[in-house]
Amino acid sequence: MTATMEHELSEALGRQKDSFVREGFPSLDVRLDRLRRLANVLDRNRKEIVEAEAADFGGRSRFLSHSADILGGLEIIRHTSTQLGDWMQAKPLDVGDPDVSVELSFAPLGVVGAMTPWNGPVLISYLALVGILAAGNRAMIKLPELTPSTSGLLARELSREFDAAEVLAVQGGPEVAAAFSRLPFDHLLFTGSTETGRKVMMEAAKNLVPVTLELGGKCPVFVGRDADIDVTAVRLAHGKLLFAGQVCVTPDYVLAPREVAERLAEGILAHAQQLYPSVAGNDDYSAIITERHFARLQGLVDDAVEKGALARQLHAEEARPAASRQFPLTLLLDANAGMTVMREEIFGPILPVIGYDSFEEAVRHARCLSRPLASYYFGHDKGEARRLRENFQAGSLTINDVVSQLFYEQIPFGGVGASGMGRYRGIAGFRTFSNLMPVVTQHAAEATLDKRRPPYRVGGQAGE
């Protein structure tokens, strides 16, 4: 990272801020036009985007890429465009005084920065850009370096649709990311690891830049005693293996009644085998992003087995090409707190299944770890579900499914504690990237207001 590059980033931010001040708050039509141009990028480059992601990952489900990134991105834009006019309307607030009227107005912040991760280089970038532009801001976005083909394509196509004073895509490695996080934005959104999130927040604090952090953590699955084990198994197999577990809300470990833990593990493997009759060369089964990440996953399994866990692997007998990074689903029975896999976010197709003797024991186990981005419960016991709703802190709770909270743009997204702060997506994103500005109008007559001014009279006598 050269001083020249850092200077260029600062200059680009300055141009966006100047343009924002010069042109003022954008109208609904201007905002809708920006969203339309975002849609153009996806619509015009459907095949190229899917192929770029497949190349960056060394194998990524083209069907899922098209469904999540292209169709999902277009749905985000459609929903926001439909609702935006209503979101922009000032909302009345009753303060209980007939002489005062108050409206809550949503004003743009100015220039918002976004740093997006490699596991969702298109969809997560669009979640950020749609919310930022809908709120009337200018955007600078740091695209992930581990997906160079996808990031390069997005940067090129965004520059075709937008002047750099509206939207600017930035590429580069960790040094560029560090410099980006030091810029005096009006708001900064970061999506990534908890460790990096701490660094980003420290840099942003130097300029008093407010941040929204979407991080991660170990997302638990609680299986109740009355859960349908077969239904639980198929939904866990499907949800865990979306993009080979490289999703921030992927189930990280399962807590199940001790007497059914092994049967649940067998069911997950059986359903995974139906979903993926093979792993090697299977276009539906996504690869791990880099050799380093693949080696880390293998290290987690080796450490757990060495410390007493029993590993059960999907298609363990299958020969895989040396260059393949398709890591097979691996279930770990008898995992414990001394294993690295139970201390770090897994972010891959490894799933510890841990038996418990009481539901309260399961909740205590999960509460010993950092607050997760998501939590899941399978079962029909209203008391158990209420126990999680009222006493377990997580970014979200999904009942009798996993990952499906991602499928609806209306649902606010974000974490709590070590898994993040702030919410975005849909109206939550519009509000996060807006300044909630009360507009107060005084209607009282001067004679009424004069009674509130000195000299103050108590009991009819001044000064008494």
Give residue-wise pLDDT tens across range 235-290: 999 999 999 999 999 999 999 999 999 999 999 999 999 999 999 889 999 999 99
Angle at 93 between CA 88 and CA 95, to 5 degrees: 160
What is the rounded CA–CA span in Å between residue 91 and residue 323?
A: 57
What is the rounded CA–CA span in Å between residue 69 and residue 142?
A: 18
Buried b (16+ CB within 10 A) or exposed e, 447-456: eeeeeeeeee
- Residue 248 bears catalytic tag: yes
Q: Given the residues 53, 157, 248, 409, select the one marked as catalytic.
A: 248
Task: Write down the pLDDT at residue 321.
Answer: 67
The distance from CA 100 to its chain's CA centroid, rounded to whole angstroms, is 40
Task: Write down the pLDDT at residue 464.
Answer: 45
Backbone angles phi, psi at 273, to 5 degrees: -70, -35
Task: Write down the pLDDT at residue 216.
Answer: 87
Q: How confident is the model at residue 322 (pLDDT cuts 50, 70, 90)?
A: low
Of the candidates 312, 310, 342, 340, which has an alpha carbon nearest to the alpha carbon of residue 328?
A: 312
**Per-residue pLDDT tens over the stretch 373-388:** 999 999 999 999 999 9
Task: Write down the pLDDT at residue 463.
Answer: 45
What is the rounded CA–CA span in Å between residue 384 and residue 180?
A: 44
Q: Given the residues 166, 214, 345, 409, select the one marked as catalytic.
A: 214
What value does the mean pLDDT take over residues 440-464? 82
Task: Write down the pLDDT at residue 111.
Answer: 98
Sort 391 into a burial class: Cβ within 10 Å, 0-12 / 13-18 / 19+: exposed
Choice between 422 and 6, residue whose per-residue pLDDT is larger = 422
Choice between 200 and 317, residue whose per-residue pLDDT is larger = 200
The distance from CA 27 to its chain's CA centroid, rounded to whole angstroms, is 28
Residue bearing tokens 């692997």: 313
- Residue 8 bears catalytic tag: no
Amino acid at 275: L
Is 0.85 surpassed by the pTM of this model? yes
Choice between 177 and 462, residue whose per-residue pLDDT is larger = 177
* Position 462 pLDDT exceeds 50: no
Q: How confident is the model at residue 315 (pLDDT cuts 50, 70, 90)?
A: confident
What is the rounded CA–CA span in Å between residue 419 and residue 204?
A: 18
Percent of the chain at pLDDT exceeding 70: 97
Tell me the CA distances in angstroms from 246 to 57, 117, 133, 360, 442, one per residue in order.
11, 11, 27, 30, 54
The distance from CA 450 to its chain's CA centroid, rounded to whole angstroms, is 53
* Position 52 pLDDT exceeds 60: yes
* Position 458 pLDDT exceeds 60: yes
What value does the mean pLDDT take over residues 146-159? 98
What value does the mean pLDDT take over residues 428-432? 97
